[in-house]
Structure 1
C-alpha cells in the first residue's frame, strides 16, 4: 500500500502545530517546519518525544519508519515542495491572512492547504486568495498525535476533489476526518465545548464548584460515557427499551426550565481569572506540563486499547492505523528483499521505561511482545495482510519457547533476527534472536505457527501469496544451521517421573 502523502509542511510548531508534526512524522511523512519562535526546535522536540513514547505504548504493529524533520528559516522554503501544508498560527485573522498569502505565493499549484483554526470559517480565511478552492479548515483536537478527529470544513469556493483528497490524506495518518456540512463559526466540536465551558465559568464564578470539582464531575461520569458513545447514543440508552423517543418525551420539557446560563457569560474580571488560576494551580500545579501530557496520553491509550478490543469508536481508528503500519512494514520488506541466506531482520524497537520490572530490567511479557511483533512482521513479509485475513485465513501461534539470556535495560535499541527452521502446508517454525546494538543476544524464542481457516476454526493449508513467498525464501533459509537449543525442552531439573495408574 502506497502512502498518499510524501511530504508535509507545518507553519507553526506550538501545541497544535507540534502535534501535527508528530502525527505526520510518526506515520512516515517527511515534514518541513517554519516557526520563528526562538525555542521552536526545543518545543517541537519535546512534543515529538512524548508522541514517540505514546506510539510505543499504543501501536501494536511494527514501528513505521519516521519521516525526516527539517527546520526552515523562511516560510517559502518550507512549503516549496510540500504536497500538503498545515497552518497552525495563532487565532488572529490578520495574521492568518498574511501567512496564507505567503503560503499561496510559494507553494506548488497542486498543494493542499489546511488551517487548524478553531473558530474562523474557511470563507473568511479564503479572502484575497487567488486559488481559494484548495484552502480548507482542518481543525484537530489536542493532542493531535493521539486524538483522531479532524473537522474538515469547506466553503462554496472549495473544490470537492481537493476536500476528498484531504480526507484521504488524513485517513492515511490515522485521523478520522469528519466533513462538516456547512461552514459555521467554531465548527461543531468547539461549539459543544463552548457550551460546557460557559456553564463551568458560571459555576466557578458563583462559588458553586471549584475547577477540580467540575473536572471530577466530567471525568467520573459523563466524560466516560462520551468517550465511547458520544451524546445522542448515550441518551438513547437512557431512554431504556422505549428508546430515544421516550427519552425526549420524558426529559424534553426540562429544556424550558431555567437551568442554563448559556445565553449569558460572566465577565472575565481579574478576580475571576485569578480565582480560576489559583484553583487550577492547587488542582494540578504539582505536575509540569510535560508530566500532565504524559498522564493524559497514558489515560487515552488505555481507553483506546479497550475500545480497540471492542472494535468501537476511536478504537476502530487505532486498529485501522495499525493495519496501515503492518501494510507499510510488508511493503518495505517486499521492496527491500533481504538476503535469505541470512537471518531476517524485520523488527526493531527500543526498550522504554514502562517495560521494566522491579529489578530495572525488561519484564517477561515484554519479551513475548517483542517476539510476537517480530512474528507479525515476518507474516506481513510473506503476505499475510488484511485482505488475506478478510478471506477467512490467518496464522496462529500454537507453541512458544523463550530463553532469557541477558538483563535488557531501558533505552536499549534491539532488533530481532528471524530464521525459518521449517514449514509445510499448514505449519511454520520460526526462531528469533533478540540482539542489542552491539550484537549481543538478549533472548531467543522459538515459535510454532499454524495456518487456520478462521470460519471453520481448524487448521487448513496455506494459500497464495504465503505459499509463493515461503518457496522463495526457503532455499536460502535451509542453509542456516539451526541453533543447538532449538526444539529442546527444559531438562536440567525436575521431579522424578511417577507413573499414574489408569482408573
Structure 2
C-alpha cells in the first residue's frame, strides 16, 4: 500500500490544522502555508489536542512524528509534496486562485485535494494546467480522529486520481469514500444541512431550546447513526421483512407536512441572538479548547467500543481504527530491535491520561488490567502470535490473573511495564508483569498471569505450533536464570 511521503497544507485553520495533525501523527512531514499572523499558535494548539487524543485512542506504536515547517509562500509549501491539501476560506474565487497557484508550482504527479464543504470541484479546477489530479477531499472535524473523507472528482478529474487518493489515505487511518457524481455540498453536508435547517425552525418556533434539541439527537438516533448510519438502522426497524417493509410502513409519512425542509429560515438578528444566548447557557461554562478535548475523549470512547464489537473484528469507525492499528503494529513491529533477554522484557511505555483517572485523580482499576493486557499482547507479538495468527483461528487466552496494587499512578504520570516468564510448556505461559513509574522507577503494580494456547474455532486448548514455541524458548530459558520476582505465588490477602 503506497502512502503519502510528504504533505503540504495550504491554510491552517480548524480544518487545515487538523489535516496537518493527521499527517504529522502518521509520520509524514508537513509544510504549512498560512499568512495568518497567529497561524503557528493555532496549529500548535490543534496538534497538542491531537497528540492528546491519540494517546487515548491507541496503544499501537505510532511512527516518529513528522516534521512541521511553516513557510512563506505556496511555492515553498508544495515543493516535493505528493499530497497537497487546500483548506482556505470557503470562497470560490479565493479557492480557485490558490489551487491554480498550487497547480503551477507543484509536481505534476502530486495529488491536490480541497477541503471545501460544498463547492463543486469542476469550478475549482477550471484554470488548472493539470486538472486531472485535483479533487475534493472533504473531511469531518476533528480530521485527526474522524476517519471519513468524501472524495469527489470534477469533470476533468481522472478516476485513477480518486482511487490513488483513497489508497494513500488508508495508512493514516482514514477512509476515503468516492462519490459517483459531483453535487453541491456532496453527501454529508446535504444531510447535515437538512437536519440543521429543521433544527433552526424548531428554535425559531420555540418548540425547544438548543440544549433540548441536542439532547434529542445525542440520546437517541445520534447513537444509532454513530455505528449503523441511516439505512442500516431502518433495515432493522423493518423487522424480519427488512427495508421493503419499513418503506411500505413509513414511506407514506414523507408526504405529511411534518418538516419545513423546503422553507428557509430567516436568520434575523433576533433569531441569531436567541440561538447564541441559548448556546451560551448550554455550553458557555467550557472554553473552546476544553470543549474540543471533551469531544475528543467522547469520540475516542465510542471508537474504542466499536473496535471491540462484532466479535473483536470492529464495526463502523471502530473497524477503521482496528485496521489502522494493524497497520501501525505491522509497521512498528518490523522496526524493533532484538529484545534484551538478560532482564525482564520492557514491552510497554505509556502515560496516564485524563480518560484513565477516577474522581481521586488516580488511574482507575480497569486501566491497570488494560496495561497488563497490552503487555501480554506485546509478548505474543514477539513470539509470532499477531493479528494474522489470531485470524487464522489460534491464540493464547488469559485464564488467571492476580494483580497487586503497590503504589499510585496519577494523571500525567509516565509508566512502563516489564514482563518476566516464569514457566512454559507446549500449552501454557506463566509470567509476571510489573508496572513502574518511568520517572522514579517505583513499582506501581504487579500481575502474575497464566495464558493457555487455544484453538478458538474448536473452543479448546491445544499445543502451540513449533514455530511459536521456538520463539518462546530462548526467552523462557534466559528468564529462568533471573531471580524470582517478589510476589510470585502470593494469594489474595496474604500477610507480608
1:66 CA drift (Å): 4.4
Question: Which residue in the other structure is 2:159 paired with?
Answer: 160
SS in 1 for 2:334: helix
1:431–1:447: 8 Å Cα contact kept in structure 2?
yes
Residues 280 and 352 from structure 1, CA distance in 2 versus in 1: closer, same or farther, beyond 3 angstroms? same
1:181 CA drift (Å): 0.8
Give the Cα separation in 1 of the matches to 2:227 and 2:198.
23
2:121–2:152: 8 Å Cα contact kept in structure 1?
yes
Give the Cα separation in 2 of the matches to 1:220 and 1:358.
24
Residues 473 and 131 from structure 1, CA distance in 2 versus in 1: closer, same or farther, beyond 3 angstroms? farther
Residues 8 and 470 from structure 1, CA distance in 2 versus in 1: closer, same or farther, beyond 3 angstroms? farther
When normalised by structure 1's length, the TM-score is 0.88
1:85–1:113: 8 Å Cα contact kept in structure 2?
yes
1:349–1:414: 8 Å Cα contact kept in structure 2?
yes
Question: Which residue in the other structure is 1:287 paired with?
Answer: 286
User: Which stretch shows the higher mean deviation, 214-223 or 236-245?
Assistant: 236-245
Residues 357 and 108 from structure 1, CA distance in 2 versus in 1: closer, same or farther, beyond 3 angstroms? same
Question: Which residue in the other structure is 1:301 paired with?
Answer: 300
Question: Which residue in the other structure is 1:437 paired with?
Answer: 438
CA deviations on 1:211-240 (whole Å, 9 max, x unpaired) are 223222222332223222222233333333
Q: How does 1:114-125 map to 2 (within 5 A)?
A: 114-125=113-124
CA deviations on 1:300-357 (whole Å, 9 max, x unpaired) are 3333333333233222222222322332332232xx3344434433321111233334
Question: Which residue in the other structure is 2:190 paired with?
Answer: 191
Question: Which residue in the other structure is 1:390 paired with?
Answer: 391
When normalised by structure 2's length, the TM-score is 0.89
1:182 CA drift (Å): 0.5
Question: Which residue in the other structure is 1:363 paired with?
Answer: 364
Q: How does 1:132-147 map to 2 (within 5 A)?
A: 132-147=131-146
Question: Which residue in the other structure is 1:314 paired with?
Answer: 317
Q: How does 1:409-420 map to 2 (within 5 A)?
A: 409-420=410-421
Give the Cα separation in 2 of the matches to 1:205 and 1:435.
57
1:474 CA drift (Å): 5.7
Give the Cα separation in 2 of the matches to 1:331 and 1:263.
56
CA deviations on 1:421-454 (whole Å, 9 max, x unpaired) are 4433223343333333346132333333222111
Question: Which residue in the other structure is 1:151 paired with?
Answer: 150
Candidates 438, 446, 449, aligned match of 1:447? 449
Question: Which residue in the other structure is 1:459 paired with?
Answer: 461
1:279 CA drift (Å): 2.0
Question: Which residue in the other structure is 1:261 paired with?
Answer: 260
User: Unaligned 5+ residue runs, structure 2?
Assistant: none
SS in 2 for 1:341: coil
SS in 2 for 1:162: helix
CA deviations on 1:45-93 (whole Å, 9 max, x unpaired) are 322333233333332x434244223131223333323332222111112
2:18–2:144: 8 Å Cα contact kept in structure 1?
yes
Give the Cα separation in 1 of the matches to 2:450 and 2:240.
48
Question: Which residue in the other structure is 2:105 paired with?
Answer: 106
CA deviations on 1:440-480 (whole Å, 9 max, x unpaired) are 132333333222111112222323753443356566x3475
1:41 CA drift (Å): 2.6
Residues 198 and 417 from structure 1, CA distance in 2 versus in 1: closer, same or farther, beyond 3 angstroms? same
Residues 246 and 371 from structure 1, CA distance in 2 versus in 1: closer, same or farther, beyond 3 angstroms? closer
1:418–1:433: 8 Å Cα contact kept in structure 2?
yes
C-alpha RMSD of the superposition: 2.7
Give the Cα separation in 1 of the matches to 2:213 and 2:137.
30
Question: Which residue in the other structure is 2:488 paired with?
Answer: 487
User: Which stretch shows the higher mean deviation, 443-452 or 190-199?
Assistant: 443-452
SS in 2 for 1:10: strand
1:470 partnered with 2:472: yes
How many corresponding residue pairs? 489
Residues 383 and 164 from structure 1, CA distance in 2 versus in 1: closer, same or farther, beyond 3 angstroms? farther
1:363 CA drift (Å): 3.2
CA deviations on 1:126-171 (whole Å, 9 max, x unpaired) are 1211211211111111122222221111134223333222112222
SS in 2 for 1:332: coil
Question: Which residue in the other structure is 1:497 paired with?
Answer: none
1:36–1:73: 8 Å Cα contact kept in structure 2?
no
Residues 428 and 137 from structure 1, CA distance in 2 versus in 1: closer, same or farther, beyond 3 angstroms? same
2:40–2:70: 8 Å Cα contact kept in structure 1?
no
